[in-house]
A and B are shown apart, each in its own frame.
Chain A
Amino acid sequence: MTQASYPPDLLYHAEHDWARIDADDPAIATLGITWYAQDALGEVVFFEPPAVGTVLAKDAPYAEVESVKAVSDVVAPLSGEIVEVNQGLAENPATINEDPYGEGWLVKVRLADPSERDSLLDADSYKATLGG
Chain B
Amino acid sequence: MSSQAPPALKRTPLFERHQAAGAKLVDFAGWEMPVQYDGVRQEHIAVRDGCGIFDVSHMGEIETSGPQALELLQLLLSNDASAMAITGGAGGAQYSVLCREDGGVLDDLFTYRLDVDRYLTITNAANHERDLEWFTTHASGLPGVQVTDRIDDYAMLAVQGPLAREIVQAISDSPLPARMTAATRRLGGAEVLVCGTGYTGEAGVELLCAGEQAPLLWDELVRRGATPAGLGARDTLRLEVCFHLYGHELSVDRGPIEAGLAWCCREDTGFIGSDAVRAERAAGPSQKLVAFVIDGPGIARQGNRVLGGGEVTSGTLSPCLDTGIGMAYVPADRAASGTRLELDVRGKIRPAVVKDKPLYRKAS
Contact = CB atoms under 8 A, between A and B. Distances in A.
Interface stretch (A10-18, A60-68, A100-108, A112-120): A60-68
A43 B319 CA distance: 12
A26 interface: no
A114 B319 CA distance: 42
A46 B296 CA distance: 12
Contacts of B35: 42, 69
Which one of A42, A46, A48 has the highest number of Cβ atoms from chain B below 10 Å of its Cβ? A42
A68 B317 contact: yes
A45 interface: yes
B128 interface: no
Contacts of B36: 42
B40 A69 contact: yes
Nearest to B26: A69
Contacts of B40: 42-43, 67-69
A84 B39 CA distance: 30
A71 B298 CA distance: 11
Grouping DSSP codes into helix (H, G, I), strand (E, B) and loop, the B interface class, with mixed when no group exceeds half, is: mixed
B181 interface: no
B210 interface: no
Interface in A16-59: 42-43, 45-46, 48
Contacts of B299: 45-46, 66, 71
Interface string B261-284: 000000000000000000000000
A42 B319 contact: no
A48 to B, nearest CB: 6
Contact of B346 (A46, A69, A71, A90): A71
A66 B316 CA distance: 9
A43 B233 CA distance: 12
B236 interface: yes
A103 B35 CA distance: 27
A27 B269 CA distance: 74
A46 B232 contact: no
Nearest to B348: A48
Given A43-B39, A66-B317, A71 B301 contact: yes
Nearest to A70: B301
A88 to B, nearest CB: 15
Contacts of A90: 297
B324 to A, nearest CB: 8
B185 interface: no
A90 B296 CA distance: 12
A43 B299 CA distance: 14
Contacts of A48: 297-298
A67 B24 CA distance: 14
B41 interface: yes
B98 to A, nearest CB: 28
A106 to B, nearest CB: 16
A121 B180 CA distance: 57
A65 B298 CA distance: 11
A71 B304 CA distance: 12
A42 B232 contact: yes
B301 A42 contact: no
Interface string B57-77: 000000000000000000000
B297 A46 contact: yes
Interface in B1-57: 24, 35-36, 39-41
Contact of B236 (A46, A68, A71): A68
A46 to B, nearest CB: 5
17 contacts: A42-B40, A42-B232, A43-B41, A45-B41, A45-B299, A45-B317, A46-B297, A46-B324, A48-B297, A67-B40, A68-B41, A68-B232, A68-B317, A69-B232, A69-B235, A69-B316, A71-B301
Interface of A: 42-43, 45-46, 48, 64, 66-69, 71, 90
Given A43-B40, A45-B299, A68-B41, 7 more contacts: A42-B232, A43-B41, A46-B317, A48-B298, A66-B317, A69-B40, A69-B316
